[in-house]
Structure 1
Amino acid sequence: GLFGLGRIGLAFAQIAQALGMEIIYHSRTKKDVPYSYVSLEELFQKSDFLSLHSSLNEESLGVVNKNTLALMKPRAFILNCSRGALIVEEDLIRALEEGTIAGAALDVVATEPMEKDSALLGVKNLIITPHIAWSTKEARQRIMNTTLDNLNAFLRGEPIHEV
């Protein structure tokens, strides 16, 4: 299941589908896509893997919490490469330690850089990476190209493109 189906969520869905996964999603708006739109409650109930791909807003802040985690299957996993504050971390820790869900992988946390005494660090069925999901070769090349284009534009006295 996917929470958020913007550009990144859609790309993730295409890869997951190619790997044989059935795709369901919940987003602020229903999309014209070959995937099943479900309610937020259904998303948490039905997902074996829940991947978060949402911006941080009033609706998404703390969307993964004790109530939504309680809806999940005990074999379910959560993946967050989006915004750390989508997850209430204390509730996730409790769900992982009590076996409410099987595991989680976080590329983002609510407070970055992560504090060295964060309770997340002691959770056995949790993988944490240092906010590097964006760091593909292609993404780094785009940044370098944009930087070079902006430098050249500056030298010519032209407007600079935002990065």
Structure 2
Amino acid sequence: MKVIFYNHRPKKVPEPWIQQVSFDELLRQSDVLSLHVIQTPETIDLINNDTIAEMKNGVIILNTARGKLVNEADIRNALNEGKIYAYATDVVKGEPIASDSPLLQAKNCYITPHIAWAPYETRDRLLHMTVDNIKAYLSGDLKNVIN
């Protein structure tokens, strides 16, 4: 398997089978595109008609980052035309999802509640970390202090 990624800053690549590429190269080469991007004015509608046109036919897009990263109408159109094979997301532009959302009129669009972060193991670890931090605080042993 080949794994490629884009970051606006050069990153140290931990494995030889992982390669950093330009954003345009990422769009052109990806069979599966997974979004892990913060929302800024520059990243709103990052995935739109123009970027979709650069992608391979039949691409699969996953978005567990932010709903505003994609233009939902453009995603719907590309899904219904077959340019995008599938779109899976647990984030939408407006949460909860509006009844007139373009995504609800799209083929192969899979929408789940915003729970990608919350498998049982993650919640269990979060609970244990919370208890450990409270115990440490009460004993005067501060952990993970920022200021």
Q: TM-score, normalised by structure 1?
A: 0.75
C-alpha displacement at 1:155, in angstroms?
Answer: 6.2
Q: Which runs of 5+ in 2 are unaligned?
A: none
Q: Which residue of 1 aligns with 2:63?
A: 80
Determine the C-alpha separation between the residues in 1 that align with 2:122 and 2:134.
18
With over 3 angstroms needed to count, the CA separation of the structure-2 counterparts of 1:37 and 1:135, relative to structure 1, is same
Determine the C-alpha separation between the residues in 1 that align with 2:72 and 2:35.
14
Q: Is 1:90 aligned to 2:70, yes or no? A: no
Specify which of 55, 58, 61 is matched with residue 44 of structure 2.
61
With over 3 angstroms needed to count, the CA separation of the structure-2 counterparts of 1:58 and 1:117, relative to structure 1, is closer
Q: Which runs of 5+ in 1 are unaligned?
A: 1-20
C-alpha displacement at 1:43, in angstroms?
Answer: 0.8
Q: Is 1:130 aligned to 2:109, yes or no? A: no
Determine the C-alpha separation between the residues in 2 that align with 1:155 and 1:38.
48
Specify which of 86, 89, 113 is matched with residue 103 of structure 1.
86
CA contact (8 A) 2:4 2:21 kept: yes
Q: Which residue of 1 aligns with 2:5?
A: 25
Determine the C-alpha separation between the residues in 2 that align with 1:101 and 1:32.
31
Secondary structure of 1:51's counterpart equals strand
C-alpha displacement at 1:26, in angstroms?
Answer: 0.6
What root-mean-square deviation, in Å, do the aligned CA atoms of Structure 1 and Structure 2 show? 2.3
Q: Is 1:42 aligned to 2:22, yes or no? A: no
Q: Is 1:147 aligned to 2:130, yes or no? A: yes
With over 3 angstroms needed to count, the CA separation of the structure-2 counterparts of 1:129 and 1:29, relative to structure 1, is same
With over 3 angstroms needed to count, the CA separation of the structure-2 counterparts of 1:117 and 1:145, relative to structure 1, is same
With over 3 angstroms needed to count, the CA separation of the structure-2 counterparts of 1:56 and 1:149, relative to structure 1, is same
C-alpha displacement at 1:129, in angstroms?
Answer: 1.0
State the AA in 2 paired with 1:89: E
Identity %: 43
